[in-house]
Amino acid sequence: MRGRDEELRTLRGLLADAAAGHGGALLVHGAAGVGKSALLRTVGAEAAESGFKVLRTSGVEPEQWLPFAALQMLLQPVARGMKDLSDPHRSALSAAFSASDTEPEIYRVGLPVLELLADEASLRPLLLLVDDLQWIDSSSRDVLKFVARRTHDLAIQVIAGARVQYSESYGHLDLPLLPLSRPAAAELLDAGAPDLPPSLRALILERAAGNPLALVELPKAVQGMTAQLDDLPLTQRLEDAFSARTDSVSRECRTLLLVLAAEPAAPLNLLLDLASRLTGSAVSVDAVQEAVDADLVTLVGFTAEFRHPLMRTAIYNHATLADRLATHRALAAVMEGTPERRLAHEAAATIGPDEELAARLERFADASQAAGRAAAAVPALRQAADLVLDAQRRTGILVRAAELSSEINHSISVQALLDRMDMSVLDPVDRARLMVVSDSSAFEPGEPERRIEDMVTAAAGAFDAGARDVAENLLWRASARCFFQDGDAQVRSRTAAELDRWSPDPNAPHVLAVRAYAEPYRHGADVIARLGGIGADHQDGRILHFLGSGAMVTGDASRAVQYLAAAAAAWRSQGRLGLLARSLAAAWPQVYLGRLERAREECAEGLALAEETGEWIVWLGLKATAGLVAALRGETEQATRTTGELRTHGLFLQMPFVTVMAQQTDGLLALFEGRATEAYDVLSRAFDPADPHYHSVSRWLLAPDLADAAVAAGTVRQARDLLAGLPELAGRLPSEMMVVAHAYTDAVLAPDDTAEERYAAALTALPAAWTLSRARLRLHHGRWLRRQRRNVDARNPLRLARAEFDRVGARPWAEMAREQLRATGESSGRRHANTGDQLSAQEMQIAVLASRGLSNREIGQRLFISHRTVGAHLYRIYPRLGITGRGKLAAALAALQDEQATSGL
């Protein structure tokens, strides 16, 4: 390896960390021929020498049809360990690797793969090398991503190589592989071709541009190519160099190479048999040896492999059209056992439209989709689209392929399919289906009102064409944008009016969600009333999510938490990780119910899952909630850092439901630090319709904070003006959020002559579950009593406030309550940090679940991590809690709660 010292140092460091039990994942990406495969081979050899077990797999374009093909290759050396897995895990892997069974959900494969590898890594460290990631089948890709993100407490290092930098991370590290420096390039060229004439050496150095493959291969075929070196792109130069080398080999060898190029996974006996049929004479292993001697292929056991993917492309493209078609026909004839490969070769052997074959490809896609094998259905539909003449039908097939690609989170495939479509021939149903795909896979944040209008129009067209399911899905997405992007009154009204046009069942969960999202002030009272009377199936996550999200966006926090927790349980049991992340958005209403620890845990889990599954709108909401929770817990640096990360995200300013939350966090931080005027200015901006932090509904969650800041800054009159419309809106939308906003601000901003009765009325009006707001109101009541020189009367509400703040972990307010108590003449010691504060959100989750009697494997299955990772966490948790084992966890956690409730009294 020349010129890769820095990269090798990085990789060796990762191996050392993995050997110590701190694994990770790295994506090496760069152009074709830049040396990714060579780098992976080198680090693999070094790892094996140092005691690692090395597992390898690589992507091959034709195998994208075969779900879990790359994964099966990777796990072959450790397959014996499957016998030690639990029955469900063993069954899931068997189903994944069986062509006849229904393809299981990704997590149902990912978790047993993780357990299998974790058990193997407990014996000796593992290195997983994954080359040509861009061609890995999507099922294997998703399982590998699942595993890669869960190796930090295991002796497992994942290193993947790809030609592109994937937007979805395979870990936390990324290594771009750049061309070699000029000195390293010259050293490599001279090592392989020391006798080049100076002028030709200089030309190759210039045209290779530091690409190692070019530096090695171009000198081998330089005769007769010097003129072309000036004109051709680098990849074409290399392909020409490779194909030129086939001119000197025998016809039998060229035929064998073409068969291998058309079917790279073909075993050696099949290669020889087909080459013999095509040439009409026996082709022996001598032809294989000839290809090896020409430095075009290598032998791995009894399988021939091209030394580089560009060689395969070059040989295939260099062959005549007639030879390529004959090869594919011959391959199709012997692929009876693998129908997907037979169809692929039949399609490749077809010139021009073939409606019958297109229909067979669509039927294959139907069967694959029915069996849950979308990964196989997508390439079949791509092939079918190429074989139909009618533009509208072709685009319809591509729309379906895009839908399936979106379902399996293959954003690159979705975009490629979108680029092939003729939008001018879309019928109303396909237009609506396509808008659903683009909304879920390639969210376009700009011009929200125009986008919402387009979505509503498309939904109307689909409904009128009889595709009610498509129409309902799209209209729900349009209404969600009305909330997330705070659409104006016109698009909100248009969305709700379109739903009304359909004469829907008013109790249908999706109807309640659309009305809550679109026009909460018009429909909110009715939605809230109906939500209370619906008995939902707790196994139907979709229905539960509709109900929970409808409650959440209207501000009915208690019901939102109830429904979304049930939805999360349903999605968790099914392993639907992206949907689970959405339901963990219940962390937001948890905050206002005073459940800060629960909110912290749900944010941490939800953020990891949202990042893993590409749910970036969910990520924004959870990130904003995490910042708010950190602020309320007194973790100022964490809150500032989290909100800073949030504000730098590309979607931030396009999502008012998030900007208003970020503004709340910044305002509270200023208020807690005594910067009252700044706090009021920050919070008041959320009530200005011209400000990017304004949200027409969620702003009312900030009303109590605004009142607090107004009292501290002396801007009570201005605050009353800003909140003047609150009573009327609270009457139209009688949710918990609006009741709290109205009652709290009415008391805190009241003149002294009516304050006493208003505090009493507000404490009565507050919803029982909003304990944090009740404690805040008692704190303000105590302050007001102190200002009235009623110190003795002030003590009881201040004590109650302090106890509640300590219980929920709201340290800044707890300290304020203590200061006020001391000012009344009552001693109130400073709360001491307890050992529970040292546990991360995930560690607290694990400790709680273990205290309830769940085994490490049960906890791992619940949290989608390895049981060995659970064990590693518990090993760190015990000494922090001052205990020695699992049996004492329940008592230790109970003691923590008592400590929080009584500290400082």
* Tens-place pLDDT, residues 196-213: 888 888 888 888 888 888
The reported pLDDT for the residue numbered 207 is 80
Instruction: Report whether pLDDT(904) > 50.
Output: no
Of residues 292 and 440, more confidence is placed in 292
The pairs formed by 313-317 with CB atoms below 8 angstroms and a separation of 24 or more are 313/239, 313/261, 314/238, 314/239, 314/240, 314/241, 314/242, 314/243, 315/242, 315/243, 315/246, 315/257, 315/258, 315/260, 315/261, 316/258, 316/261, 316/262, 317/239, 317/243
Averaged over 507-532, what is the pLDDT? 94
Nearest to 348 by CA among 330, 367, 336, 375: 330
Q: Which residues contact 99 (CB under 8 A, 6 or more apart)?
A: 338
**Which amino acid type is present at position 431?**
R
Residue 25 has phi, psi (to 5 degrees) of -145, 145
Out of 78-82, 375-379, 469-473, which region has the weakest mean confidence (pLDDT)? 375-379
Element (H, E) at 303: strand 303-306
Which contiguous run of DSSP H or E holds residue 157? strand 156-162
In terms of Cα–Cα distance, which of 647, 639, 780 is closest to 708? 780
pLDDT of residue 230: 54
Q: Sort residue 829 into left (φ over 0), alpha (ψ -120 to 50) or beta.
A: beta
Gyration radius of the chain over CA positions:
32
Give residue 370's pLDDT.
84
For residue 375, name the pLDDT band (cuts at 50, 70, 90): confident
Segment of 455-469, 570-584, 831-845 carrying the highest mean pLDDT: 455-469
Tell whether the model's pLDDT for residue 233 goes beyond 70.
Answer: no
Eight-class DSSP state of 680: H
- With tokens 């689909």, the residue in question is 462
What value, to the nearest 5°, has the Cα angle with vertex 470 and ends 468 and 550? 90
pLDDT of 226 strictly over 70? no
Per-residue confidence (pLDDT) for residue 418, from 0 to 100: 83
The more confidently predicted of residues 576 and 802 is 802
Q: Give the tens place of pLDDT for each residue, 748-780.
A: 999 999 999 999 999 999 999 999 999 999 999
pLDDT value at 434 more than 70: yes
135-143 average pLDDT score: 87
CA pair distance 569, 632, nearest whole angstrom? 27
For residue 408, pLDDT beyond 70: yes
Percent of the chain past pLDDT 90, that is, above it, reads 66
Confidence label for 227 from pLDDT (cuts 50, 70 and 90):
very low
pTM for this prediction: 0.85
Could you give the CA distance from residue 472 to residue 520 in angstroms, rounded to a whole number? 19
**Span of 132-136, 300-304, 535-539 with lowest mean pLDDT:** 535-539
The two beta strands, 297-300 and 173-176, are unpaired
Q: Which whole number is the average pLDDT over 72-92?
A: 90
| pLDDT above 50 (res 57) | yes
* Minimum mean pLDDT range among 82-91, 597-606, 707-716: 82-91
Find the DSSP H helices in 421-519. Answer: 428-441, 448-464, 468-484, 489-501, 509-518
Binned at pLDDT 50, 70 and 90, residue 339 comes out as confident
- 547-568 per-position pLDDT tens digit: 999 999 999 999 999 999 999 9
Nearest CA among 91, 90, 80 for reference residue 120: 80
Which of 556, 663, 645 lies closest to 603, judged by CA? 645
Q: What is the DSSP letter of 719?
A: H
Beta strand 156-162 with 24-29 is parallel
DSSP state of 79: G
State how far the Cα of 274 lies from the Cα of 6, in Å rounded to an integer: 46
Rounded average pLDDT over 796-804: 95
Residue 562 confidence (pLDDT) = 94
The predicted structure's pLDDT at residue 170: 57
Residue 169, pLDDT score: 52
Per-residue pLDDT, averaged over 94-114, amounts to 79
Of 519, 524, 473, the C-alpha closest to 497 is: 519
Pick from 563, 587, 583, 562: which is nearest to 572 by CA? 583
Give Cα 865 to chain centroid, integer Å: 16
pLDDT(99) > 90: no
Enter the DSSP assignment of 84.
G
What would the pLDDT profile of 821-880 be if each residue is shown by its tens digit? 999 998 766 655 555 567 888 999 999 999 999 999 999 999 999 999 999 999 999 998
pLDDT score, position 182: 93
**pLDDT over 70, % of the chain:** 94
DSSP notation for 386-432? HT---HHHHHHHHHHHHHHHHHTT-HHHHHHHHHH--GGG--HHHHH
Q: What is the mean pLDDT of the chain?
A: 90
pLDDT at 905: 47
SS (H, E, C) 815-864: HHHHHHHHHCCCCCCCCCCCHHHHCCHHHHHHHHHHHCCCCHHHHHHHHC
Task: Inform me whether the pLDDT recorded for 374 exceeds 70.
Answer: yes
